[in-house]
């Protein structure tokens, strides 16, 4: 049987905003409707079945056979859980930061009394395995290394497998704790094969659900570390969650409506299939980068490590962010500005979750129109054409078109 074509259906709806921030993402209608369902007993069999299906689906995308705990909290709560459940005050932690979220992970570890050494990578760059190796050799013994999979503030995706390989080689006893909040689910990810101990993600990112839940995947080594870890914890005590989950429950009342949504969303992801999901994300990223480039925007990150879920570009000095963003908003396009020290210097476009190539082309079209409205020299259609070509090439649908001229 012939394989189905990659998903290209239009989903631009003039009554809705084209929400192109890197999470929360817009939701498929079936997921939205699921969130409006009547409540159920969260200590009954229906909830237990849902939780099991959701965790089973997450495992596939995390590439793990681990327990994955569903926490009712933001992604930051998941990061905090990763720290407080595995470490003790005074533990030596190497925090590899490539941006604002790496800084946050490091700050959580310091807040709870870890002795944190930072490896600060210039914003826009990925962490380099050799630099990590030098940092590991320069200190230690390390109880944990903190890594960011996808740095949403700079639009950089770290070579996480390579980085983890270096830690495994030089600090085999260190736990590898990974912020996977904005990447897992959108790109191939193999927690077990890469030897990652704790990986965290959040419902509002690649998972096509509303904010409100964090997922924490915990290796056997990390559970063992947890048995003696002394950082204080109660609400985020993962052992309590694991125990409840074994009987189909959560220790505290969960965000039931988000679990309804996740159940539907993960069903949609399974129907689409991981390969198609990854190809769709890669195509949307390629289209976004090519389209913005054709419109004269310079990519902020090192192109070799540009993220598949969020594109970050420089804001030209002579383009006023407020005026530009107002033009985009008039066209129902919502993008994200810069975070922290990048505020006013870059803007970001999210392409994760239910995103389609058509939504990206619509977004590029709105940007072109906004630029034209501000009197800038732009060839109408230039960004859209470049974006479409790159997206279709990425999907393998127009190989050779350029060669034919
Ligand atoms: N880590 C990364 C990489 C993120 O992108 C985010 C949110 O954007 C977080 C952590 C924090 O997640 P939350 O805002 O849900 O706490």
Q: What is the pLDDT of residues 203-257, one digit of tens each?
A: 999 999 999 999 999 999 999 999 999 999 999 999 999 999 999 999 999 999 9
The predicted pLDDT at position 15 comes to 84
Please determine, for residue 47, whether its predicted confidence score (pLDDT) is greater than 50.
yes
Residues 295-306 have pLDDT tens digits of: 999 999 999 999
Per-residue pLDDT tens over the stretch 139-193: 999 999 999 999 999 999 999 999 999 999 999 999 999 999 999 999 999 999 9
Q: What is the pLDDT of residues 269-305, one digit of tens each?
A: 999 999 999 999 999 999 999 999 999 999 999 999 9
The residue count of the chain comes to: 405
Distance, CA 182 to ligand 1 centroid (Å)?
A: 7
3-state secondary structure of 203: coil
Supply the pLDDT for residue 5: 46
* Residue 76 CA to ligand 1 centre (angstroms): 6
The pLDDT value given to residue 3: 54
Instruction: Return the ligand 1 atom nearest residue 148 CA.
Output: 3
Residue 78 CA, closest ligand 1 atom number: 16
Give, for ligand 1, the residue of 152, 198, 338, 348 to mutate: max count of ligand atoms closer than 8 Å to Cβ: 152
Distance 204 CA to ligand 1 centre (A): 9
Pocket of ligand 1, beta carbon within 6 A: 23, 74-76, 101, 148, 150, 152, 179, 181-182, 202
Orientation of helix 129-138 relative to helix 160-170, angle to 10°: 30
Distance in Å, CA 229 to ligand 1 centroid: 25
Q: How far is the CA of 152 from the centre of ligand 1 (A)?
A: 8
Identify the residue whose C-alpha is closest to ligand 1 atom 12: 75
Helices (H), 171-320: 191-194, 220-228, 238-246, 256-272, 274-294
Q: Which percentage of the chain shows pLDDT scores above 70?
A: 96
Mean pLDDT computed over 375-399: 95
- The confidence score (pLDDT) of residue 10 equals 40
Q: What's the confidence (pLDDT) of residue 13?
A: 74
């Amino acid at each position: 049987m012939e394989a189905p074509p990659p998903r290209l259906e239009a989903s631009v709806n003039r009554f809705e905003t084209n929400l192109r921030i890197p999470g929360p993402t817009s939701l498929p209608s079936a997921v939205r409707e699921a969130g409006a369902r009547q409540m159920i007993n969260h200590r009954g069999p229906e909830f237990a079945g849902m939780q099991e299906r959701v965790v089973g689906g997450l495992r596939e995308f995390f590439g793990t056979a681990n327990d994955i705990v569903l926490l009712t909290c933001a992604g930051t709560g998941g990061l905090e859980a990763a720290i407080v459940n595995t470490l003790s005050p005074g533990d030596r932690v190497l925090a590899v930061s490539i941006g604002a979220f790496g800084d946050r992970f490091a700050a959580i570890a310091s807040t709870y009394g870890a002795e944190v050494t930072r490896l600060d990578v210039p914003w826009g760059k990925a962490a380099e395995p050799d630099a990590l190796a030098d940092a590991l050799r320069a200190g230690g013994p390390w109880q944990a290394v903190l890594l960011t999979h996808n740095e949403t503030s700079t639009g950089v995706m770290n070579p996480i497998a390579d980085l983890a390989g270096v830690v495994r080689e030089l600090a085999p006893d260190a736990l590898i704790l990974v912020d996977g909040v904005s990447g897992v689910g959108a790109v191939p990810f193999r927690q077990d094969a890469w030897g990652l101990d704790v990986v965290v993600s959040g419902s509002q990112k690649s998972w096509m659900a509303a904010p409100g839940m964090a997922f924490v995947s915990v290796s056997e080594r990390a559970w063992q570390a947890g048995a003696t870890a002394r950082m204080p914890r109660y609400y985020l005590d993962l052992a309590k969650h694991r125990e409840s989950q074994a009987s189909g429950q959560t220790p505290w009342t969960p965000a039931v409506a988000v679990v309804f949504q996740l159940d539907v969303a993960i069903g949609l992801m399974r129907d689409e299939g991981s390969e198609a999901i990854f190809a769709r994300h890669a195509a949307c990223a390629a289209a976004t980068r090519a389209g913005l480039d054709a419109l004269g925007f310079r990519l902020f990150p090192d192109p070799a490590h540009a993220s598949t879920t969020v594109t970050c570009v420089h804001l030209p000095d002579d383009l006023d962010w407020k005026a530009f963003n107002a033009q985009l908003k008039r066209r129902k396009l919502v993008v994200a500005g810069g975070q922290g020290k990048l505020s006013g210097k870059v803007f970001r476009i999210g392409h994760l979750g239910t995103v389609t190539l058509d939504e990206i082309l619509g977004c590029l079209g709105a940007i072109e129109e906004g630029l034209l409205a501000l009197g800038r020299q732009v060839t109408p259609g230039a960004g859209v054409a470049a974006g479409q070509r790159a997206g279709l090439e990425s999907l393998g649908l127009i190989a050779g078109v350029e060669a034919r001229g």
